[in-house]
Structure 1
Amino acid sequence: MARGGAAVTSVLLVEDDALLREATLLSLERYGYEVDVAADGLTGLSRFRRRVPDVAVVDVMLPGLDGVSLVRRMRAESDLPVVMISARTDPVDVVLGLEAGADDYVTKPFDVPVLIARIRSAVRRTARPDGPVTEHGPSPMAFGDLVIDPAGLEVSRAGRPLRLTPTELRLLLTFAAHPATVLSRTTLLERVWDHAGGGDGRLVDVHVQRLRRKIGGERIVTVRGFGYRFEH
Structure 2
Amino acid sequence: MKRITILIADDEAEIADLVALHLEKEGYQMIKVSDGREAIEAIQSHSIDLAILDIMMPKLDGYEVTRQIREQHQMPIIFLSAKTSDMDKITGLVLGADDYMTKPFNPMELVARVKAHLRRSAMQLNQPMTGHTSVLEAGGLIIDPDKRTVILYGENIELTPKEFDILYLLAGHSKKVFSVENIFQHVWGEAYYEGGNTVMVHIRTLRKKLGEDTNKNKLIKTIWGVGYTFNG
Range into which the TM-score falls when normalised by the shorter chain: 0.7 to 0.9
- The equivalent residue for 1:225 is 225
2:54 to 19, 39, 59: 59
CA distance in 2, matches of 1:52, 1:157: 32
Query: What do the CA deviations read for 1:70-121 (whole angstroms, capped 9, x no partner)?
Result: 2112212322221111223211111111112111111222222211222222
CA distance in 1, matches of 2:65, 2:219: 30
Q: Are residue 70 (structure 1) and residue 57 (structure 2) matched? A: no
CA distance in 2, matches of 1:228, 1:147: 20
Where does 1:24-103 land on structure 2 (aligned, <5 Å)? 24-103=19-98
Query: What do the CA deviations read for 1:47-76 (whole angstroms, capped 9, x no partner)?
Result: 122224111100122222221122112212
Query: Which ranges in structure 1 are unaligned for 5 or more consecutive residues?
Result: 1-5
- The equivalent residue for 1:181 is 176
- The equivalent residue for 1:21 is 16
CA distance in 2, matches of 1:32, 1:54: 13
**Distance 1:53-1:215 versus aligned 2 partners, 3 A rule:** same
Q: What's the offset of the Cα at 1:128? A: 4.7
CA distance in 2, matches of 1:66, 1:187: 33
Q: Which amino acid aligns with 1:221?
A: K
1:126 alignment partner, SS class: helix
Q: What's the offset of the Cα at 1:136? A: 5.6
CA distance in 2, matches of 1:140, 1:153: 10
In percent, how many aligned pairs have the same letter? 34
Q: Which amino acid aligns with 2:90?
A: V
1:167 to 150, 156, 162: 162
Is the Cα contact below 8 Å between 2:78 and 2:99 reproduced in 1? yes
2:174 alignment partner, SS class: coil
1:77 alignment partner, SS class: coil
- The equivalent residue for 1:138 is 133
Query: What do the CA deviations read for 1:131-157 (whole angstroms, capped 9, x no partner)?
Result: xx9x96433222132122334544333
Farther-moved stretch of structure 1 (118-127 vs 26-35)? 118-127
**Distance 1:25-1:120 versus aligned 2 partners, 3 A rule:** same
Is the Cα contact below 8 Å between 1:59 and 1:85 reproduced in 2? yes
Is the Cα contact below 8 Å between 1:60 and 1:93 reproduced in 2? no
Q: What's the offset of the Cα at 1:171? A: 1.3
CA distance in 1, matches of 2:46, 2:77: 15
Where does 1:201-220 land on structure 2 (aligned, <5 Å)? 201-217=196-212, 218-220=218-220
CA distance in 1, matches of 2:92, 2:195: 14
Q: What's the offset of the Cα at 1:19? A: 0.9
Q: Which amino acid aligns with 1:93?
A: D
Q: Which amino acid aligns with 2:97?
A: A
1:61 alignment partner, SS class: coil
Is the Cα contact below 8 Å between 1:83 and 1:102 reproduced in 2? yes
Farther-moved stretch of structure 1 (136-145 vs 89-98)? 136-145
Q: TM-score, normalised by structure 2?
A: 0.84
CA distance in 2, matches of 1:65, 1:229: 38
Is the Cα contact below 8 Å between 2:83 and 2:102 reproduced in 1? yes
Query: Which ranges in structure 2 are unaligned for 5 or more consecutive residues?
Result: 213-217
**Distance 1:13-1:52 versus aligned 2 partners, 3 A rule:** same
